[in-house]
């Protein structure tokens, strides 16, 4: 009994493959490879046409060229914590001039001019910025504008997921620890009693279909956070929790 079909998928009889020094040229797999190579070439051409191009300004500029800025010069202490606050401001950890004795602090620089804009004491550990500055020695949140500590959690949280807006860590116990910012906007000037009540109700009932109404209310109340408003208006699932509601509802 033969295990091979006598006809191919197109109904034509299967022919013995033709062998050559380069291999089996007529083997169906080989033909598929040729076809997929051609498809790859076509896809590549389509991609090349559609793909956004990155153009680096001053790509041929030397390391000491005119756009170079010295932001925060240190002799031996390097690779310390730093994070972007926006497109032009950089937060760099550590204050002082002695490479062995840094004051726990954050310095804020404008990278377009090299100027130091501000500094404030307190933060320790890796830095993350998402609306607030977080220092990951435990988890502490800071208001960069005022240099004020907003909240603190003792859990060891070494990573931040910007999409889920969750801090996470794996301490020695082996049990995953997670933390999310809650209630931080409950006292904001634009966080009216109506907004807080609506947010609390949506969270309690998990009535995420009403989030666009909350988005409209935030807009009318003058909420400056475009991402929060856009999140309320965006379609899609919100899982068991929603980061916008978490920020508005006090724990």
Binding stretches for Zn ion (CB under 5 A): 238, 242
- Cα torsion for 46, 47, 50, 51, to the nearest 10°? -170
**In whole angstroms, what is the distance from residue 133 CA to residue 32 CA?**
54
Least distance to Zn ion, CB of residue 158, Å: 24
Given a contact cutoff of 8 angstroms between Cβ atoms, the answer to whether 82 and 92 are in contact is yes
* Pairing state between β 139-143 and 132-135: antiparallel
Tokens of 44: 């590549």
Which residue, judged by CB position, is nearest to Zn ion in the bound state?
Answer: 242
Distances (CA, A) of 12 to 5, 9, 30, 96, 144: 11, 7, 18, 81, 73
**Closer of 107 and 238 to Zn ion (Cβ):** 238
**Closer of 163 and 174 to Zn ion (Cβ):** 163
Least distance to Zn ion, CB of residue 114, Å: 39
Least distance to Zn ion, CB of residue 238, Å: 4
Radius of gyration of the chain (CA): 28
**Closer of 139 and 242 to Zn ion (Cβ):** 242
Query: 151-155: which pairs have CB atoms within 8 A and are 24 or more residues apart?
Result: 151/181, 151/184, 153/179, 155/179
Least distance to Zn ion, CB of residue 232, Å: 8
**Closer of 238 and 247 to Zn ion (Cβ):** 238
Least distance to Zn ion, CB of residue 207, Å: 12
**Closer of 203 and 242 to Zn ion (Cβ):** 242
């Amino acid at each position: 009994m033969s295990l091979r079909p006598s006809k191919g998928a197109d109904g034509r009889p299967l022919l013995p493959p033709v062998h050559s020094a380069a291999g089996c040229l007529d083997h169906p797999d080989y033909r598929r490879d040729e076809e997929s190579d051609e498809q790859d070439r076509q896809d590549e051409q389509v991609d090349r046409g559609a793909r956004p191009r990155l153009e680096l300004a001053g790509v041929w500029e030397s390391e000491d060229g005119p756009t170079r800025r010295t932001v925060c010069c240190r002799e031996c202490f390097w690779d310390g914590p730093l994070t972007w606050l926006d497109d032009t401001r950089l937060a760099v950890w550590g204050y002082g001039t002695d490479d062995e004795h840094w004051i726990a602090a954050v310095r804020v620089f404008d990278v377009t001019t090299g100027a130091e804009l501000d500094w404030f004491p307190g933060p320790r550990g890796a830095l993350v910025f998402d609306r607030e500055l977080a220092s990951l020695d435990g988890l502490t949140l800071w208001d960069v504008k005022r240099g004020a500590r907003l909240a603190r959690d003792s859990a060891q949280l070494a990573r931040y997921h910007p999409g889920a807006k969750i801090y996470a860590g794996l301490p020695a116990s082996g049990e995953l620890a997670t933390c999310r910012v809650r209630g931080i906007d409950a006292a904001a000037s634009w966080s009216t009693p109506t907004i807080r009540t609506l947010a609390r109700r949506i969270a309690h009932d998990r009535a995420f279909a009403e989030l666009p109404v909350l988005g409209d209310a935030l807009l009318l109340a003058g909420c400056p956070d475009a991402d929060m408003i856009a999140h309320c208006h965006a379609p899609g699932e919100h899982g068991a929790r929603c980061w916008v509601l978490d920020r508005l509802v006090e724990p």
